[in-house]
Structure 1
């Protein structure tokens, strides 16, 4: 019997869509493809998703054979199956398509400090930083107090994100609007350009400040946008 909520078509596209196109599902797959395996870490990658809905989607993905649950360290990890890993090119392609073709000003309306910082944390490149523990504070003055300050603590290859003061000396303070930091991360601007425009201030170790574009890097979905011809041009 066909699912009354499904498309009712034998086409493989429709069958895949029934599994993957429910709300939040592809974002959960994105998080797991980035290496996230724990429930609480998944929540940090999709901060606007309720815990109840997250649990439901995880069960649906497991039923569809896309993930498996693995007991580990007194808790549970969610790991992609070969079917889940096979979605990597699809998710990457969607990300590149969105960066190239969705209007940047539209995407910049959806600013989210927790998602931005979590994404920056997992892609940060520690190699340009001094070979010691480094603590970098990001401050977004326009945000409410509870969302204003974030800390990245880098110790070798380990990078931790804190939403509270970790108690270490600050090596670099990055004071910026959330919009400016997001445009840099998405490859729409650069650190130097935002500083010159007065949208960003760096205070602290000049070597860490000077290498910010290198250790920060870019979103894996940052690509050059094509110029779209205007009608009648």
Structure 2
């Protein structure tokens, strides 16, 4: 835990745990359904495994996270105390999307975007069988790959940064910032298609239904303040 604020205020005591770097984002991942160490890493791609392990230990010691051994693999879950952080995480996210509108180039991460898309799929809307969405970001530079594949089958989905070798159902070519803005609810799918910053290749029926396969970010529906108020 971080150094004590030496205040009896419960806000100060809570922040001694929660204002450690990455800590609340780990809680965000657990709230979003990640439970395995590797899944947590994929949701926090710029966090080192060593630091992730340390933060999980701190959260477990504080009674926020519990380790659940089973099937040869440790899983992590929120305790009742951790579950009480869900509305706090949601409120912070809603506040952030309303009032922190600026996104720097360094904030754009294709791995995080595809991982979040993967866990916000409406599987009932996806065609039966195996569906493969190929996504290309021509403007992305190393160390991030430009090409990604989202493989959806049997109510499950996975993200690949190497060609999985399956037939592609539909292909997206997009500017990374533009697709992030669509995902966040900052602009519409139709508007981005018209701008040419997003292009879809595949059968017409698939192109027409594709937007409905994804429920967008949980914060996409948060009302934004009027431009004059935001400024």
- TM bracket (short chain): over 0.9
> Which position in structure 1 is the counterpart of 2:139?
142
Work out whether 1:120 is the aligned partner of 2:97. Answer: no
Cα deviations by residue, 1:203-229 (Å, 9 ceiling, x for unpaired): 112222112221122100122211153
Q: Which SS does the other structure have where 2:218 is aligned?
A: coil
The within-5 A match list for 1:30-45 is 30-45=28-43
> Which position in structure 2 is the counterpart of 1:67?
65
Shift of 1:150: 1.0
Q: Structure 2-normalised TM-score?
A: 0.93
In the aligned structure 2, how far is the partner of 1:43 from the partner of 1:60? Answer: 17
Cα deviations by residue, 1:133-167 (Å, 9 ceiling, x for unpaired): 11110110111365111111111311111111111
The within-5 A match list for 1:13-92 is 13-92=11-90
Matched residues, number? 229
Taking structure 1 as reference, are residues 144 and 229 closer, same or farther at Cα in structure 2, changes over 3 Å only?
A: closer
The within-5 A match list for 1:96-115 is 96-103=94-101, 105-106=102-103, 110-115=107-112
Contact 1:191 1:212 in 2 (8 A): no
Q: Which SS does the other structure have where 1:147 is aligned?
A: coil
Provide structure 1 residue ranges, at least 5 long, that are not aligned to the other structure: none
In the aligned structure 2, how far is the partner of 1:197 from the partner of 1:4? Answer: 46
Q: Structure 1-normalised TM-score?
A: 0.93
Cα deviations by residue, 1:108-146 (Å, 9 ceiling, x for unpaired): 651011111100000111222222211110110111365
Provide structure 2 residue ranges, at least 5 long, that are not aligned to the other structure: none
Contact 1:129 1:208 in 2 (8 A): no
> Which position in structure 1 is the counterpart of 2:224?
225
> Which position in structure 1 is the counterpart of 2:156?
158
In the aligned structure 2, how far is the partner of 1:8 from the partner of 1:79? Answer: 30
Cα deviations by residue, 1:25-68 (Å, 9 ceiling, x for unpaired): 00000000111111111000000001111111000000000011
In the aligned structure 2, how far is the partner of 1:219 from the partner of 1:30? Answer: 13
Structure 1 vs Structure 2 CA RMSD:
1.9
Contact 2:2 2:20 in 1 (8 A): no
In the aligned structure 2, how far is the partner of 1:76 from the partner of 1:40? Answer: 11
> Which position in structure 2 is the counterpart of 1:211?
209
Contact 1:190 1:213 in 2 (8 A): no
Taking structure 1 as reference, are residues 230 and 60 closer, same or farther at Cα in structure 2, changes over 3 Å only?
A: closer
